[in-house]
Amino acid sequence: MSLQALSAFAVANNFTKAVKPQATPLYELPIEQARSKVTVRDGNKVPKPDGSQALILSLGKVILKLDVIAPKATRINAPATEVANFTKILKDAVAEGQLDAEIQDAQLKMMENKLKADAAVKAVPTVEGTQAVAQAVPAGLDLGAIE
């Protein structure tokens, strides 16, 4: 059997990264689009036996603060009978722009996390065990003009 005969049985490994179109990061979205990305979900790691949920609003992996509802609040403890109603109220509040400040805070936090991650990647260990930080090229600098 030749390699050509094996082509009918060839598959991509589940662990290889497929090339996806580049999506706009959540922290770069305008507020109108960011509102549509906010989700209401159960913040409990394990579902409660009585069906109650700790409703949280999240943008990506960042949980939104609910200070507009109560100071220092991050979740709403909803009894099982009120989960759907509370979810609708939260979604409507997001759509109306009542939580725009919290969404923008979450976007800022995402951007800070991205910058920290980028800085960590750019820190390259050297032979001596110290770290050298990669230099960024200033904006507007024409590298072709440097000789």
pLDDT in tens, 26-45: 999 999 999 999 999 999 88
The CA-based dihedral angle spanning residues 63, 67, 68, 74, taken in that order and rounded to the nearest 10 degrees: 40
d(CA 39, CA 59): 7
- HSE (side-chain half, CA atoms, 13 Å) at 104: 8
Q: What is the pLDDT of residues 88-117, one digit of tens each?
A: 999 999 999 999 999 999 999 999 999 988
Residue 132 binned pLDDT confidence (cut-offs 50, 70, 90) = very low
Judged against a pLDDT cut of 60, whether residue 135 lies above it is answered with: no
pLDDT of residue 4: 73
Greatest alpha-carbon span in the chain? 72
* Domain layout of the chain by residue ranges: 23-117
Query: How many other C-beta atoms are found inside a 10 Å radius of the C-beta of residue 37?
Result: 14
pTM of the model: 0.67
Residue 120 binned pLDDT confidence (cut-offs 50, 70, 90) = confident
pLDDT of residue 133: 45
